[in-house]
Amino acid sequence: MRERFLAPTVGAVVLWGVVVGVASIAAALGTSSTNTLVTQMLIDAIVVVGLQVFIGNTGMLSFGHPAFGAYAGYVVALLTMPVSRKLIQIPDAPWGLAEAEVDPTIATFAAVAVTLVVGAIVGLALVRSGASSGAVAATMITLAFLFVTHEIALNWTDLTDGGGGLGFIPRLDGRLPIVLSLLVVLLVGRWFAESRPGRLAKAVREDGLAAAASGVDRVRPQMAALFLSVLIIAVGAVLRVRALGSMTPSFFYFDYTLLTLAMLIVGGRNSLTGSMLGVVTITAGIEFTRILAGESVSIPGLDWLLRPNLSDLFLGGAMLGFMLIRPRGLLGDWELDHWLRRWIPLRRRSTPGAVSDRSGRKHILEAKGIGATFSGFRALSDVSLRVETGEIVGLIGPNGAGKTTLINVMSGLVPGHDGQVLLDDEDLTGLAPHDLAARGIGRTFQNLRLFSDLTVRENVEIARIAHDRRGHDIDVDALLHAAGLTDVADRRASELDYGNQRRLELIRATATAPAFLLLDEPTSGMGEAESSAMVDFVRHLAGEIGAGVLVIDHDLHFIVSICDRIYVLDHGELIASGSPDVVRNDALVRAAYLGED
Ligand code: ADP
Ligand code: MG
């Protein structure tokens, strides 16, 4: 097994042991109603893992995921109900369902398959809307999906018998299938978070724009997370229906959404360990409030609270409280295996070698006649420039001259501009940012954009694994070493000081093995010594990977000292270009840039 999956595997098994252990103790100490509660809790745990896989890894909030459970629940109910019972409840069921009776195992596979088809349809809408209109649109889609599913279940009475629901579904025999399923889904959930699609999804969650600029195409990782979460929820739903022996439209509706989301949010949506803590905490809390609301307890002055729906109040209150005070939940993104890792012996990493061994082919990146307009304001007009591999080209100009906009155009962030972006005479105009990154155009941002909650190493690794390009041979350890970040490689990116964050962003861009690096003010906010160290570092990295560099800086002296050629922008127009000497002595440049007459 690959080393990076070892600790998560151990972690998931231990986590499973703890949850099942707690459940067994509760079941042994309690009454038969506790027994039912424990079964329910273990099933909820499975569903919450399903929610976590999607919501945790993609950061897209979904209210609708339990509705996937409704499809699985109805399929298993319709396929396994005794024919004698169907002829009474749903004699007019379509597709000959009234006469069919299938083995529960086969019915489970059918339920999962049908639910995955529903997931594919909803998922495409979800992931696409997330790309075009943001996370709110995606959340609204999930909510609408929940309502629509409920209405179908209520109204398609030939199939579902309406609100009363379907009964006499063959019951599960003991808790073993639930306990085993929980183990499998915990393992799969933890593996997914460490897998390539899981890590890419997390990068998009942290910063969609920076992920795209690193070559991450958001659709595939997000769809992978969605499919896996739908699969897990379908399994949980089948178990739930078979544990209860019945299925109604309200089983996977608002109450269940509220319950499972509260579990996820209270525990920590970015962590499987946290989600499981949430499941146990919320289950215990509900049980406690249920006992409190019983007639035997009386609290003077608070009796108005002690009503049967006290547990709903508790759920809503817990969610509200956590969203306000501790939105990352009890555990944030801490996983059991982060802690276990100390006891699991890992092979020591080899000493880092060279950053890469790129072949020395020559490439030319060209912007031709670029124009860009923002709501009537002309930010760039007819700007052309060219960078070859192996050279460092400067782009200077006063604030607001259009420098950042030009880099945005060349990295695909300004759709609908005029002119062309060419790589070796191939027209790349109009390509998405992740496609341009995949063609070898890497960039950094004027205002740092790191994957803040991921570790330093993950920031770099994501860029390396985002695409498989030929001749792509970047050593992440060597990059970390070159940037002086080896000792902090396992820290969160957000914990680094500013200079280290700047260097991290630069090596993240380098990790895509770009043919061209577009750097937007890499020394901004740095003192003189730090700036000049940064300049050396840029030069060193570019040399190692054989890239061409286009660098923006406001400091004319700095640019003059490192660049082979310089372009000067002012008010969106190119006013000069040429060697440092030519540009420095250009009258127009001195006027625009240095304020001389
Ligand atoms: P520079 O990087 O040279 O300081 P920019 O490229 O950031 O300049 O900005 C050039 C001009 O374009 C500025 O006046 C800025 O306000 C405007 N601009 C840039 N991006 C946008 C945008 N997305 N929407 C509206 N105006 C923009
Ligand atoms: Mg700028």
Ligand 1 centroid to Cα of residue 571, in Å, is 10
Q: Please give the pLDDT value at position 560.
A: 82
Ligand nearest to the CA of 445: 2
- Cβ of 374 less than 6 Å from ligand 1: yes
Distance of alpha carbon 150 from alpha carbon 407, whole angstroms:
48
The DSSP result for 359-428, as a single string, is: -----EEEEEEEEEEETTEEEEEEEEEEEETT-EEEEE-STTSSHHHHHHHHTT-STT-EEEEEETTEE-
Distance of alpha carbon 219 from alpha carbon 445, whole angstroms:
23
Q: Please give the pLDDT value at position 347.
A: 57
Nearest to 439 by CA among 453, 455, 421: 421
Ligand 2 centroid to Cα of residue 401, in Å, is 8
Ligand nearest to the CA of 593: 1
Measured by CA distance, the residue closest to atom 15 of ligand 1 is 400
Q: Please give the pLDDT value at position 592.
A: 73
Q: Which residue has the tokens 């006290």?
A: 310
Backbone angles phi and psi of 89, in degrees to 5: -85, -45
- Cβ of 400 less than 6 Å from ligand 1: yes
Task: Report which ligand 1 atom has the smallest distance to the Cα of 572.
Answer: 10
- Cβ of 404 less than 6 Å from ligand 1: yes
Decide: pTM greater than 0.85: yes
Nearest to 394 by CA among 543, 150, 582, 180: 582
Classify 552 as helix, strand or coil: strand
Measured by CA distance, the residue closest to atom 13 of ligand 1 is 400
Q: Please give the pLDDT value at position 369.
A: 94
From first to last of its 597 residues, the chain has per-residue pLDDT tens of 467 888 899 999 999 999 999 999 998 888 888 888 999 999 999 999 999 999 999 999 899 999 999 999 999 999 999 888 888 888 787 887 878 888 999 999 999 999 999 999 998 888 777 655 566 788 888 999 999 999 999 999 888 888 888 989 999 988 999 999 999 999 999 999 999 999 999 999 999 999 999 999 989 999 999 999 999 999 999 999 999 999 999 999 999 999 999 999 999 999 999 999 999 999 999 988 888 777 666 666 666 666 667 888 888 899 899 889 898 889 988 888 888 777 766 655 556 666 664 556 789 999 999 999 999 999 999 999 999 999 999 999 888 999 999 999 999 999 888 999 999 989 999 999 999 999 999 999 999 999 999 999 999 999 999 876 555 678 899 999 999 999 999 999 999 999 999 999 999 999 988 999 999 999 888 888 888 899 889 999 988 888 999 999 877 777 888 899 999 999 999 998 999 888 888 888 777 766 665
Q: CB-based contacts of 160: which residues, under 8 Å, 6+ apart?
A: 74, 90, 153, 154, 166, 249
Measured by CA distance, the residue closest to atom 5 of ligand 1 is 402
- Cβ of 397 less than 6 Å from ligand 1: yes
Nearest to 189 by CA among 236, 141, 238, 142: 236
Measured by CA distance, the residue closest to atom 14 of ligand 1 is 400
Measured by CA distance, the residue closest to atom 26 of ligand 1 is 374
Ligand 2 centroid to Cα of residue 514, in Å, is 21
- Cβ of 379 less than 6 Å from ligand 1: yes
Measured by CA distance, the residue closest to atom 21 of ligand 1 is 374
